[in-house]
Structure 1
Amino acid sequence: MLRFMPVGDSMTIGSAGEHTWRYRMWHHLCATYGGPFTLVGPRETLYDKAADAPTSHAYADPGFPRAHLAGWGEGWLHMAPLIADAVRAARADVLLVSLGLIDLGFYTNAEQTAQNARAFAAEARSANPRIRMVWLPVIPNVRAANDEPFAAQVTAFNELLAKTAADLDDSASPILMASVPDTWDIHTDTYDGTHPNATGEHKLAAAFAEAMYQGWGLGGAYQG
């Protein structure tokens, strides 16, 4: 059985009442992947905005494997120390990673954030030397649209992340860079300029799906 672990920040954990892109990915793989698979990770909840805590199980459709390693306000900085234990415990084969916005917004500059991505990869491989990873760049968001210095940091980080992925890519433990959805629009694909609505969820799932299909021949063209 192929075991996928979604790793990310608020866009990946989602909040109460949402489907999440994890759900969209599950349906895509059900339609296109020919073998047994599941989603794994040490967490299952959504973020509850009223409680300001990741305590909700109120998925729009709870009928899928809801396991993940994602947290509201967490980034590469936070996940690097957690990933080895998570990979080991869940016996993960593929990491679907969407991180960076929180790091750049509150904790580290582009260069430091890229170093934390490098540390994340090393820690994941320490638990599974054959782990496969797909990394999504920081996608367009409302802060980058309105804050020119922050936008420059996002651009710099995305370039460094791609270089880091290329540098660390290995046939035994490959790393793919997913592409920012070319039709992403913060006005129509998010509900607040950052977090995905239903169309945004599909586009994030498609970014990972297309990377795996084109890079590894895994699955097929996106089917949500």
Structure 2
Amino acid sequence: MRYLFVGDSMTIGAAGDYTWRYRMWRHLSTLGEPFAVVGPRDGLYDRAADAPVSADYADPAFPPHARRHLAGWGEGWLHLAPLVGDVVREHRPDVLLVSLGLIDLGFYTDARQTAGNAERFIAAARDGAPGVRMVLLPVIPNSRADLDPGFADECAELNTLLAKAVADHDSPESPLLLASRPEGYDILLDTYDGTHPNAQGEHKLAAAFADAMYQAWGIGAPYAGAS
């Protein structure tokens, strides 16, 4: 099984982070099943350089071949929908694990426009590989939604629209799945700034994807917890 991690700043991570991608790689490594992590990028965001040029992962033993991704600081559905088709064609993932939406709502598009870009992303990914599977994570709790009721409404509307898009476009040939919001996710305990996950939050994000794949498709196993 070949996995492509797709996301914004919560997925790429910053210099010094483990990232939830690392937690997922550790989980997959325990299953005794062949897998690969694929994608065109491998860096972390470097705040000083304001660019994704860091290789300073918290665990230096995280192997380079497992660091691959399609994620970017400040990038959302709007930015990655035009790229994903070519990436899927070149890197041949079987499963896309996608965490996008918050940055779109925060800076670029409203809920309906964002959902439209998500649908364009789905279509482009399938154009690159008609049988690809995709797991989408809804927008999760964040500090702006906690403080701004209007933004919270936008997040809720996008999550409703994503659920509808998944229901409308799911197919046996290219299954779509909307993961559940991470159980018990708390912005005070699971993030370091109200948005970006700390170590505990990283485990919860990885668990959301791992548990969704296992429960819906029988792929892998339930997430075993911190490791």
TM-score with structure 2 setting the length? 0.96
Q: SS in structure 2 opposite 1:166?
A: helix
Deviations 1:83-126 (A, max 9, x none): 01111111111000000001111111111111101000000000
Separation in 2 of the partners of 1:114 and 1:51?
32
Q: Among 24, 45, 48, which residue is 1:47 paired with? A: 45
Superposed, 1:188-199 pairs within 5 Å as 188-199=189-200
Offset of residue 182 of structure 1: 2.3
Offset of residue 179 of structure 1: 0.6
Residue of structure 2 equivalent to 1:58: 56
Is 1:3–2:2 an aligned residue pair? yes
Mark the runs of 5 or more structure 2 residues left unpaired by the alignment: none
Residue of structure 1 equivalent to 2:68: 67
Deviations 1:38-73 (A, max 9, x none): 111000000001111111000011423100000000
Task: Return the letter of the residue paired with 1:10.
Answer: S
Residue of structure 2 equivalent to 1:182: 183
Moved over 4 A (4+): none
Q: SS in structure 2 opposite 1:133?
A: strand
Separation in 2 of the partners of 1:116 and 1:3?
24
Mark the runs of 5 or more structure 1 residues left unpaired by the alignment: none
Percent of aligned pairs sharing the same letter: 65
Aligned alpha-carbon RMSD (Å): 0.8
Larger displacement relative to structure 2 (60-69 or 167-176): 60-69
**Corresponding pairs, count:** 222
Separation in 2 of the partners of 1:104 and 1:69?
19
Separation in 2 of the partners of 1:219 and 1:93?
13
Offset of residue 35 of structure 1: 2.4
TM-score with structure 1 setting the length? 0.97
